[in-house]
Every structure is written in structure tokens, then in C-alpha cells.
A and B are shown apart, each in its own frame.
Chain A
Amino acid sequence: KQEVTQIPAALSVPEGENLVLNCSFTDSAIYNLQWFRQDPGKGLTSLLLIQSSQREQTSGRLNASLDKSSGRSTLYIAASQPGDSATYLCALGNYGQNFVFGPGTRLSVLP
């Protein structure tokens, strides 16, 4: 059974810092990994999707990497802004088990 962890659970950084959020998983039999952001009281917004055959995806200031052999994905945010404050979740599409989400990392970017 796929288990997903995200470390740290919460992170507070000053504006302008580069930061890395981590997602670890136990079963490498995945077909994709998706990073989402969730603002308080809102639904999930897709940030990046990485297919199992890919190693990274980039969108603007965001870069996500995937290393199936080590069971890890990272989300890199460059030059953080207060508007980046949200909860970031990773979700894995698994063969035979469907989608499993991590618990999320709550990010606060201080002006």
C-alpha cells in the first residue's frame, strides 16, 4: 500500500528565499506525480504534473523533480513571494491503487 509523507509539515521563510518542499513515497510503481497548492477554504490548484518516465517539470518559478528509485519528489520554489503562502500537496497515481495524497506542507512567506 502506497504511503506518502511530506516534510516539513510547516515552513516559514522570509520573502525572496528559495525553498524546497519534499515528498516521499514507498511504492515506486507509479504512473504520475502531481503537485498542488491549496489556499485556505479553497479547492486544489494543479501546479505541475510529472509522468513516471520524466525526471522534472518546470513552470515559471516552480521546478518539480522525480526520483522513483529513491521514492522522492521535490518542489523547488525560487524567489518566494507572500502570494506563495498556501498548503502544498503531492499526489501519486499508482498502478492498482489509484491516487494517494500526502498530508501537505503549510508554507508561509513573510513580507
Chain B
Amino acid sequence: EAGVAQSPRYKIIEKRQSVAFWCNPISGHATLYWYQQILGQGPKLLIQFQNNGVVDDSQLPKDRFSAERLKGVDSTLKIQPAKLEDSAVYLCASSPDRDYSYEQYFGPGTRLTVT
């Protein structure tokens, strides 16, 4: 089966600009996650979707970050306006729910540099 797809792989923007990332989860996976990974740290969960609905967005900086999941499949994460501290790798993951294991499968990530 195809893995989690993300694009773009790399993005460089200036502060105060906007940027969007795209994620296509593994087919049939109902749960989708966006993580932020700052260099040298473990990933931090930003938002979790179950089908179309948001399960957890408690760590999403909602004044500048937004996310949506279209028809319970693809998802986009947007930052507007970007700050220097947003420089990180943005990882998307998905989980099947069929056995309630919630094992996560990750995409390759998008490396964002804000200058």
C-alpha cells in the first residue's frame, strides 16, 4: 500500500508570509495527525482529525495556524503569518481504526525555513 504523502518537501519563506502544506494519508485511514518537529526535539502534536472532525487541537496556535481535512481524506495545514520560530519539520501521520491500535504511519515531512 502507498504510504503517507506530503508536499512540498522543502519550503523557504520570509517572516509574515503565508505557507500551506498538504498531506494525503494512507487509503482507508480515518485518523490524521499533524506534528511540528523542531530541530533536536521530538514531534509535538498540533492537531488530530477523526474523519472530518477535529479530535484535539489544543496545541495548535490558532491565531496563525489553521488546518482542514477535506472529505475525510486529504488535509492542509496553513500558517499565516509565519514567524521565525515556526522553522521546523511538519510531519503528517495517519492511523487505521479497524483494530483500535492507533499505530501511526508517518510521511516524509515538510522542512520549513522562515527567514
In the assembled complex, the Cα of A98 lies from the Cα of B109 at a distance in Å of: 20
The answer to the question of A64 belonging to the interface, with a C-beta cut-off of 8 Å to chain B, is no
Task: Find out whether the CB atom of B108 lies under 8 angstroms from the CB atom of A32.
Answer: no
How many residues in B have their beta carbons less than 8 Å from beta carbons of A?
24
Knowing A43-B107, A43-B108, A98-B48, say if A103 contacts B101 (CB, 8 Å). no
Query: What is the chain B residue whose CB lies nearest that of A48?
Result: B103
Task: Find out whether the CB atom of A102 lies under 8 angstroms from the CB atom of B91.
Answer: no
The answer to the question of B22 belonging to the interface, with a C-beta cut-off of 8 Å to chain A, is no
Task: Find out whether the CB atom of B91 lies under 8 angstroms from the CB atom of A98.
Answer: no
Q: Mark B73-115, 1 if CB is under 8 A from A, else 0.
A: 0000000000000000001010000000111111111010000
The binding surface of chain A is classed by DSSP as: strand
Task: Find out whether the CB atom of B42 lies under 8 angstroms from the CB atom of A103.
Answer: yes
9 A-B pairs (CB sep. < 8 Å) = A31-B102, A32-B103, A34-B103, A34-B104, A43-B4, A43-B106, A44-B43, A46-B105, A98-B48
In the assembled complex, the Cα of A34 lies from the Cα of B101 at a distance in Å of: 10
Task: Find out whether the CB atom of B102 lies under 8 angstroms from the CB atom of A44.
Answer: no
How many residues in A have their beta carbons less than 8 Å from beta carbons of B?
23
Which residues does chain A contribute within 8 Å of B107, judged by CB atoms?
Answer: 43
Task: Find out whether the CB atom of A101 lies under 8 angstroms from the CB atom of B44.
Answer: yes
Task: Find out whether the CB atom of A45 lies under 8 angstroms from the CB atom of B101.
Answer: no
| Interface positions of B (Cβ within 8 A of A) | 4, 33, 35, 40-45, 48, 55-56, 91, 93, 101-109, 111
**Chain B's nearest CB lies how many Å from the CB of A46?**
6
Knowing A32-B102, A93-B102, say if A42 contacts B108 (CB, 8 Å). yes
- The answer, among B41, B45, B101, for a CB contact under 8 Å with A98, is B45
Which residues does chain A contribute within 8 Å of B56, judged by CB atoms?
Answer: 98
The answer to the question of A18 belonging to the interface, with a C-beta cut-off of 8 Å to chain B, is no
Which residues does chain A contribute within 8 Å of B102, judged by CB atoms?
Answer: 31-32, 93
Besides A36-B106, A43-B108, A44-B104, 4 other A-B contacts (C-beta < 8 A): A43-B107, A46-B106, A98-B45, A98-B55
- The answer, among B4, B101, B104, for a CB contact under 8 Å with A99, is B104
In the assembled complex, the Cα of A51 lies from the Cα of B107 at a distance in Å of: 23
